[in-house]
Amino acid sequence: MATFVHLTPAAHAARIRRSGIRAQGREERRGVFLFPVLPSYTLTHQWLRELARRPGPRRLVAVHVRLDDAEPVRVGRYNDREPLLTTAADAVRRIAAMEDPRGWEVILPRTVTAREVRTVREVRQVTGWRYFPNAHGVTPCTCYGCRVRGEYGSQRLRRRRPHPFDGPPPPPRVLLARLDAAEARGDTAALREALGWYGLRRRGPLPRLTGLARHPDPAVRVALVEAVAYWKTPGVPELLRELANDPDPGVREAVADHTDD
């Protein structure tokens, strides 16, 4: 039997003891995220500080889960797009043999039953890395996607290292003028920058942007996907379905990453 640990807010402990751990996520990363129990306490609970950065309860507990050696799982690093499909025993063997297993994870593609939960334990709340392994000493990114609202010290960090996308987006008329000028010059970099600002809005001039779905530069079409994916404007689902059939695999991948279908 292979033993893993799952880190979760302490508020979930009673429910997990009663009914197990629900699968979450989608596609290859849908399931329950686990890590093998290794001789090193620090490596076993390495994900704790990073998970504690998420909004919600900060105090986490360690749920120990025991699976059959032949149980199908996926194993990979946190940024792997296609984790390796293997068995629970092989996932433990692979990670235990690594010189540096930080950032690796095991995904069980189903719910963990209450019978498979062995113990729920308290764990030291200062264990592990934050942001990514070896992040200490690396200049933190303050962009809209990386920063965590309300995180301790985040406001001071943004004042010290302002990001170009800080602050409200330019007014609609300014963005439209930038789009027109970028298209007239054939400046794809400026076009992508304007689309990046549109990505910070909840809605926008979709009819004006729809023609970019046929722009010859795939990077512009990717930027279009990222700009409109979360808009509430009517017509966005139809545009994304069109881009999901784009001849460029990068555009199709961007649509898959930004939709639930």
Answer yes or no: do 41 and 145 share one domain. no
Answer yes or no: do 79 and 152 share one domain. no
Query: Is 241 among the domain residues?
Result: yes
Query: Is 129 among the domain residues?
Result: no
Q: Which residues contact 13 (CB under 8 A, 6 or more apart)?
A: 61, 63, 120
Answer yes or no: do 100 and 142 share one domain. no
Query: Is 142 among the domain residues?
Result: yes
Within 10 A of 187 (CB to CB), how many other CB atoms are there? 14
Query: Is 102 among the domain residues?
Result: yes
Answer yes or no: do 42 and 67 share one domain. yes
Query: Is 80 among the domain residues?
Result: yes
Sequence letter at residue 20: G
Q: What is the CA radius of gyration of the chain?
A: 22
Tell me which residue range forms the domain holding 217.
172-258
Q: Pull the structure tokens for residue 199.
A: 């990505």
Q: What is the pLDDT along the chain (261 residues), one digit of tens a residue?
A: 999 999 999 999 999 999 999 988 766 678 999 999 999 999 999 999 999 887 667 899 999 999 999 999 999 998 888 899 999 999 999 999 999 999 999 999 999 999 999 999 999 998 998 877 887 777 777 666 666 655 666 677 777 777 666 666 788 899 999 999 999 999 999 999 899 888 878 888 999 999 999 999 999 999 999 999 888 889 999 999 999 999 998 899 888 877 654
Answer yes or no: do 221 and 158 share one domain. no
Query: Is 85 among the domain residues?
Result: yes
Counted domains in the chain: 3
Asked whether 111 and 22 are in contact (CB, 8 A), the reply is: yes
Answer yes or no: do 87 and 147 share one domain. no
Query: Is 128 among the domain residues?
Result: no
Query: Is 130 among the domain residues?
Result: no
Answer yes or no: do 88 and 14 share one domain. yes
CA angle 141, 146, 147 (to 5 degrees): 85
d(CA 102, CA 43): 7
